[in-house]
Structure 1
C-alpha cells in the first residue's frame, strides 16, 4: 500500500527561508475567475458522470451558462473598479464558443491558464497521448486567441492522472493549481522542469462556499476578509499568497455581488499587498526561491528525492 505519492517534500511552515515579494509586500493576492464551458450532453466517463442529474441536465447547463451570458461581464466590471486583473482558469474551448469574453479579458491584460478543454471532459481514463494532446491543444489555442503562452494548469474539474504533473512540467508550465497543501508556493517533484504548486484555495472557492456549504453571501464576504487578515499578519514573517477562485454563475449573481465587493474593498485598502497574477507570483518564486528552498530541505534532512508516483509506476 502506497501512503504517500511523493508529490512534494514535507516542509513545516515555520523556519523556512523568508519569502520577500516585490516592493517588500507581505502578501501576494490573486483572483482566479474560472471561465468554463459545460457540455449539454458530454461523453460518458466511467469514473464520473458529467452532471449530478441524469443527462441532459437542462437546469445545470443553463445555470452555468448564466456565467458566460451575464456573470462574467458583471464580474469584469467590478474588478475594473478596484484595478484588479484576473488569472483566468480557462476551459480553452471558450476561445471558440465565447470569443467575446476572451477578447475582453485579454484587453484588460488578464492572464490565462489552462483548465482543460471542457469542464465535462475529465482526465480520468485518458491515455498519455490523449492527455498530452489536451495540454498541447491548450497551449496552441490560447496563444492563437490571445498571444499569451500559458504557464499554469488546473486539471479539468480537478481530475488528474499520475502523469499530469510530469506532463505539464515537460511542456514548460511554471505552476499547478491542483495541489492545496500550502499558503506559499512549493516545489513539485517532476521528472523535468521547475514546477511549483500555486496556492489556490478550496476553502474560499465559491463553488465550495456557495455550492457545498450553502453560505450566506455576507458570511462568504466575511470569510474572505478573515482569510486575508490572517495571511497578511503571517506575511510579516514571510510572504504569503491568497487566491480567490471564482465562478461567475455563482459570485456574480445580483444578490451576491455587493458582499463580494465589500471584501474587495477591504483587501484593496491595504498597501502591503502585491496585487498580481499567478504567472507573476510563480515567476518571482521560481527565480528567487527554487534553489533556496531545495537547499533548505537538504540542510534540514527533509529532501527525500525521487519523483511523484514512481511507486505506482513500479
Structure 2
C-alpha cells in the first residue's frame, strides 16, 4: 500500500449527488486576489528574472509594484464590473499598506488568511512554530476586520502533515490549499471537518505567466475558455466551482490588465447564469446542505 494523507476518500465524479448554487446556478465563480508582502533582501518571492545576490532590487521592486499600483487598478476594474473578491491576505500587509486593505474592506470583500508573508513557507516550520504563524495571522485579521477569517490559503500552497489539523484547531472552516477537485469536498482533521474549496492552479496568473510564460491575451483566453467549458460541463446537473487566482504585480501591469478586463467582462456578462461570489459564501452554502450531499461528510 502506498502512503496516503487520509484526509478524504475517492469519490467518482459521475456518481455524486446533484445540487445547485443560489438561484439555481450550477457554476460558482470567485476571484481569489492575493495581496502579499515580502521581506527585503531575504526570504522567498516570485521572480521576473533570475535574481542575483541579495538585496535583489529588481524582483523586490517588481513585486512591490503590485501593492503600490497594480492592486489599485484591480480595484477599479472590480468596481467597474461589480465583482466581489476573496482577498488572500498576508497579515504583514496591515503594517505595510493599510489603505489598500481598507479599500477592500469598504468594498465588502471577504478577507481570508494567507499567512504572515510569502517570504516564508509554513511547511518548513516545526509544529509549534506553524501553530504560532497561523495564530498571529488570524489575530491580525480579527483585530482589523472585527472577526477572524473562515478561510485559509497557505503561502506557496505549503502544508505540513499537521496543517489541516492546525487550521481546524484555530477555527478555520475551509481551506484553498488542495486543487484536487472541481467541487468542494470535506476533509477529515483531528478537530472536525474542514472544507476544501477548489482553488485554481491552472486559471492562476503565477503558473500561467510566471512559469509557463503565457502572454497576457493567452491568460485572458484561459479564463474565458475555462469558464465556457465549465458552463457546458455543468449542463449535466453536477455543480462546479471556478476560481480565478490573481496577483496584482502580474495582472496589474497595464497591458495585462487590459486583457484581464476583457476576460472578466466576459464572465460578468453571464452573471444571470452563474453565481459570482466569494470563497466564504461557497463554504456557507455547502455547510448548510444536508449531510451526504457533499463528499466527505
Superposition TM-score tier, normalisation by shorter sequence:
over 0.9
Q: Which residue of 2 aligns with 1:248?
A: 248
Specify the SS of the correspondent of 2:59. helix
Alpha carbon RMSD of aligned pairs, Å?
A: 1.9
The CA deviation string for residues 34-63 of structure 1, in whole angstroms up to 9 with x for no partner, is 0000111236xxxx7997634221111001
The CA deviation string for residues 77-113 of structure 1, in whole angstroms up to 9 with x for no partner, is 0011111111011101101111001100000000111
The CA deviation string for residues 167-201 of structure 1, in whole angstroms up to 9 with x for no partner, is 10122211111101011101112112221111111
C-alpha change, 1:143 and 1:74, in structure 2 (3 Å) is same
* TM-score w.r.t. length of structure 2: 0.93
| 2:129 counterpart of 1:127 | no
Structure 1 residue ranges without an equivalent (≥5): 299-314
C-alpha change, 1:2 and 1:15, in structure 2 (3 Å) is closer
TM-fit CA distance, 1:137: 1.3
| 2:205 counterpart of 1:206 | yes
Residues 161-176 of structure 1 mapped to structure 2, 5 A cutoff: 161-176=160-175
Q: Which residue of 2 aligns with 1:305?
A: none
TM-fit CA distance, 1:132: 1.1
Q: Distance in 1 between matches of 2:75 and 2:256?
A: 15
4+ residue segments displaced more than 4 Å = 48-52
Specify the SS of the correspondent of 1:201. coil
C-alpha change, 1:60 and 1:40, in structure 2 (3 Å) is same
C-alpha change, 1:290 and 1:168, in structure 2 (3 Å) is farther
Indicate conservation of the 8 Å contact 2:110/2:278, yes or no. Answer: yes
Indicate conservation of the 8 Å contact 2:46/2:59, yes or no. Answer: no
Residues 256-295 of structure 1 mapped to structure 2, 5 A cutoff: 256-270=256-270, 271-288=272-289, 290-293=291-294
TM-fit CA distance, 1:135: 1.2
Q: Which moved more, 1:157-166 or 1:59-68?
A: 157-166
Specify the SS of the correspondent of 1:241. strand
Residues 1-314 of structure 1 mapped to structure 2, 5 A cutoff: 2-42=2-42, 53=51, 54-236=53-235, 237-270=237-270, 271-288=272-289, 290-293=291-294
Q: Which moved more, 1:282-291 or 1:223-232?
A: 282-291
Indicate conservation of the 8 Å contact 1:19/1:289, yes or no. Answer: no
- How many residue pairs get aligned? The number is 292
Q: Distance in 2 between matches of 1:142 and 1:28?
A: 26
Indicate conservation of the 8 Å contact 1:174/1:283, yes or no. Answer: no
Structure 2 residue ranges without an equivalent (≥5): none
Q: Distance in 2 between matches of 1:67 and 1:17?
A: 41
Q: Distance in 2 between matches of 1:11 and 1:64?
A: 40
Q: Which moved more, 1:241-250 or 1:146-155?
A: 146-155
Indicate conservation of the 8 Å contact 1:36/1:94, yes or no. Answer: yes
Indicate conservation of the 8 Å contact 2:86/2:109, yes or no. Answer: yes
Q: Distance in 1 between matches of 2:249 and 2:62?
A: 7
